[in-house]
Chains A and B, each alone.
Chain A
């Protein structure tokens, strides 16, 4: 079995080069189709995400898969890119290393944000695309299905996914959860509709929020985001849009405020907030998660009674701590991947060598039976007893087994694909085996 991985990722390739090499699903389909026409025995999967473009090519026939140099040029040629620009930015690996890389990627250990859960879905999606267009074969099937199992094992047996590390996720799942037991009965206000605001909305929905007020200087942007979420969650999260002028009124009633604007000056000064705070009918806890840089709320606001103000700097410490925690889980996750790579390759080689072993055994048994039959006829004519014939038969059986045992044992124990393929070929030629 031969398997190559060729591609680039955030580790060694700048964003602008990755973007140029990225494949849309249609492009991936076209590229893999073209490869299949030139190399009918090759099995391929193309994984293209924001952070990586990777082509996996495998075949049970070593001559059926092109070499890594060809594959690299193939990827670059497809987009008419200059190979010189990518000279030091492409990565490739083969066989055990390629399988281990696939398992590492699927388990999210190779991700920009280690432990993020999106990558497994993207790996599955890439495999499904290949499968549906018949670019995948038995090796790719086995490798990608095993990759899902490895990712699941890493999730279950380590805590690498257990702690959030982005600022909005930590703000909601760790900080807001220290204040509120539930979010479905809370008055939640999000100020700003940028990337942070959108991410915060997702985490709020995950945390159980059902109603969120959205406020933005440009109301159209807020409406567009609200419509997107209404559609995405099919009404499970009601996002109501408020006019910017209503900000003071909504601030007075909100239990949880998440501010994410890109304003260069604070949108809420201490003096303004104090006057609003004094008018609050509900005097309960108000948590303000100021995720904007620079700040949207002046820092002294957090000193007021029942008001808790957290800025990005306050949350960053928790994010860093969680990143450290995930790093601590790394050796355990690597151990699982290493174990699973050995197991997968062992199973694969065993399956691959199976037909040759069976053919060799059948051939040996056939020769044994022919010789035994000839001998039996002669001995029966001489009046030899059945017990003696049985003993002779068993002796032949042991002889065949003892002769076959060393080569078959070597074949089973050979772990790397290339060496096993050489052994198999030698065995076939030496014993003239035709599967």
Chain B
């Protein structure tokens, strides 16, 4: 289906959407919201088609489960893109795209950077329910951390602007501080729960596969470290919210930094690169652009 769709085309599309979003700074466009949503939806559709093609001919539902870090990374970017479209419809008067779209683009570029990994063993992918749960939970957690980071950046920009009393035009308005605090808080909770699920499912997966868990394996250590931080951050935020304030912006930025470090370390270890496949057919089902 639409075999001509490439990463470059998707990236170009998202860059155009970002340019339309940033034009809020310089000019008024009466039809900006429908333009942005239409363009973003087209980009998202092309991205979904690209991922579909990446998964090969999905003659069985099992093949729909991505089997490389590359495709999982694209899935994360796809989910984040969907979050952006939903937010740009729900908060049509706010310039959320200027903060979310660079992250969508960064995630697609990040996927290209990790793209050299070998596919996981398909039998492993389809044989156990725990692997998609493990990867899915980690992806949702990662998307939540990225979204929390975007909310944090908007929060800081909004706080600074309001403190210095720089009133902006209607077109370049950010969501209210109250909304951004709530969004940041939700992202912390969702990311904590998802990473916890990812860690637990990873442990179960290891037990299923090897009969034991290597607690010192880098992937598990990084994931556990991230979870500990997120639990601490959630407790701190809960304490702050009891006092009627919010630290979610700074906690989400720290979470984002930790996730970036953890992802870099995970991708540089065998944990994130999967195992060599045994079938040459499977090797050709997922290829890099």
Which of the segments A63-71, A81-89, A173-181, A223-231 contacts the partner chain? A173-181
Bound together, the chains give a CA A102 to CA B178 distance in angstroms of: 45
Inside 8 A of A163's CB, which chain B residues have their CB? 170
With an 8 A cutoff between CB atoms, is B45 at the interface?
A: no
With an 8 A cutoff between CB atoms, is A248 at the interface?
A: no
Return the contact of B173 from the options A178, A180, A181, A310 (Cβ within 8 A).
A178
Most chain A CB neighbours (cut-off 10 Å) among B173, B177, B178, B179: B178
With an 8 A cutoff between CB atoms, is A12 at the interface?
A: no
Inside 8 A of B182's CB, which chain A residues have their CB? 181
Rounded to whole Å, the gap between the CB of A164 and the closest CB of chain B is 11
Inside 8 A of A182's CB, which chain B residues have their CB? 178
Which of the segments B53-61, B67-75, B157-165, B212-220 contacts the partner chain? B157-165
Rounded to whole Å, the gap between the CB of A262 and the closest CB of chain B is 24
With an 8 A cutoff between CB atoms, is A404 at the interface?
A: no
Q: Is the CB of B177 within 8 A of A285?
A: yes
Rounded to whole Å, the gap between the CB of B211 and the closest CB of chain A is 51
Residue total for A at the interface (Cβ-Cβ under 8 A): 22
Return the contact of B176 from the options A180, A281, A284 (Cβ within 8 A).
A180
Q: A308-B162, A318-B167 are in contact. Are A178 and B176 (CB under 8 A)?
A: yes
Smallest CB gap from A314: residue in B: B165
Q: Is the CB of A284 within 8 A of B162?
A: no
Q: Is the CB of B245 within 8 A of A178?
A: no
Q: A179-B177, A179-B178 are in contact. Are A284 and B244 (CB under 8 A)?
A: yes
Inside 8 A of B245's CB, which chain A residues have their CB? 283-285, 306
Q: Is the CB of A282 within 8 A of B244?
A: yes
Inside 8 A of A317's CB, which chain B residues have their CB? 167
Rounded to whole Å, the gap between the CB of A154 and the closest CB of chain B is 16
With an 8 A cutoff between CB atoms, is B243 at the interface?
A: yes
Smallest CB gap from A170: residue in B: B167
- A298-338 interface bits toward B, Cβ cutoff 8 Å, 1 = contact, 0 = none: 00001000101010001001100100000000000000000
Bound together, the chains give a CA A161 to CA B170 distance in angstroms of: 14
Q: Chain B interface: which size bin?
A: 10 to 19
Q: Is the CB of A181 within 8 A of B170?
A: no
- B243-266 interface bits toward A, Cβ cutoff 8 Å, 1 = contact, 0 = none: 111100000000000000000000
**Within residues 166 to 211 of chain A, which ones have a CB less than 8 A from any CB in chain B?**
174-175, 177-182
Smallest CB gap from A315: residue in B: B167
Q: Is the CB of A175 within 8 A of B178?
A: no
Q: Is the CB of B243 within 8 A of A284?
A: yes
Bound together, the chains give a CA A282 to CA B246 distance in angstroms of: 11
Rounded to whole Å, the gap between the CB of A288 and the closest CB of chain B is 12
Inside 8 A of A306's CB, which chain B residues have their CB? 245
Bound together, the chains give a CA A104 to CA B177 distance in angstroms of: 40
Inside 8 A of A181's CB, which chain B residues have their CB? 175-176, 178-179, 182
Return the contact of A310 from the options B165, B169, B174, B246 (Cβ within 8 A).
B165
Q: Is the CB of A175 within 8 A of B176?
A: no
Rounded to whole Å, the gap between the CB of B114 and the closest CB of chain A is 38
Q: Is the CB of B162 within 8 A of A283?
A: no
Q: Is the CB of B177 within 8 A of A283?
A: no
Q: Is the CB of A282 within 8 A of B176?
A: no
Bound together, the chains give a CA A306 to CA B162 distance in angstroms of: 11
Bound together, the chains give a CA A178 to CA B179 distance in angstroms of: 9
Inside 8 A of A318's CB, which chain B residues have their CB? 167
Q: A174-B167, A178-B173, A317-B167 are in contact. Are A283 and B243 (CB under 8 A)?
A: yes
**Within residues 101 to 123 of chain B, which ones have a CB less than 8 A from any CB in chain A?**
none
Inside 8 A of B176's CB, which chain A residues have their CB? 177-181
Bound together, the chains give a CA A317 to CA B168 distance in angstroms of: 10
Inside 8 A of B167's CB, which chain A residues have their CB? 174-175, 314, 317-318, 321
Q: A285-B177, A317-B167, A318-B167 are in contact. Are A178 and B162 (CB under 8 A)?
A: yes
Q: Is the CB of B243 within 8 A of A178?
A: no
Inside 8 A of A283's CB, which chain B residues have their CB? 243-245
Bound together, the chains give a CA A182 to CA B176 distance in angstroms of: 10
Inside 8 A of A321's CB, which chain B residues have their CB? 167, 169
Inside 8 A of A175's CB, which chain B residues have their CB? 167
Q: A317-B167, A318-B167 are in contact. Are A178 and B244 (CB under 8 A)?
A: no
- B265-282 interface bits toward A, Cβ cutoff 8 Å, 1 = contact, 0 = none: 000000000000000000
Most chain B CB neighbours (cut-off 10 Å) among A163, A281, A285: A285
Inside 8 A of A308's CB, which chain B residues have their CB? 162-163
Inside 8 A of A174's CB, which chain B residues have their CB? 167
**Within residues 156 to 210 of chain B, which ones have a CB less than 8 A from any CB in chain A?**
158, 162-163, 165, 167, 169-170, 173-179, 182
Most chain A CB neighbours (cut-off 10 Å) among B158, B179, B244: B244
**Within residues 61 to 117 of chain B, which ones have a CB less than 8 A from any CB in chain A?**
none
Most chain B CB neighbours (cut-off 10 Å) among A178, A283, A308: A178
Q: Is the CB of B162 within 8 A of A179?
A: yes
Smallest CB gap from A317: residue in B: B167
Rounded to whole Å, the gap between the CB of A375 and the closest CB of chain B is 66
Smallest CB gap from A309: residue in B: B165
Smallest CB gap from A163: residue in B: B170
Bound together, the chains give a CA A306 to CA B175 distance in angstroms of: 18
**Within residues 140 to 166 of chain B, which ones have a CB less than 8 A from any CB in chain A?**
158, 162-163, 165
Q: Is the CB of B165 within 8 A of A178?
A: no
Bound together, the chains give a CA A175 to CA B161 distance in angstroms of: 11
Bound together, the chains give a CA A178 to CA B178 distance in angstroms of: 8
Bound together, the chains give a CA A181 to CA B177 distance in angstroms of: 8
Given pairs A163-B170, A178-B176, A179-B177, 7 additional interface contacts (CB within 8 A): A178-B174, A178-B177, A181-B179, A181-B182, A281-B244, A282-B244, A283-B245
Q: Hey, which bits of chain B sit against chain A, CB under 8 A?
A: 158, 162-163, 165, 167, 169-170, 173-179, 182, 243-246
CB-based closest 4 A-B pairs = A284-B244, A282-B244, A181-B178, A283-B245
Q: Hey, which bits of chain A sit against chain B, CB under 8 A?
A: 163, 174-175, 177-182, 281-285, 302, 306, 308, 310, 314, 317-318, 321
List, sorted by A's number, 25 A–B pairs whose CB atoms are closer than 8 Å.
A174-B167, A175-B167, A177-B176, A178-B162, A178-B177, A179-B176, A179-B177, A180-B176, A180-B177, A181-B175, A181-B176, A181-B182, A182-B178, A282-B244, A283-B245, A284-B243, A284-B245, A284-B246, A285-B178, A302-B163, A308-B162, A317-B167, A318-B167, A321-B167, A321-B169
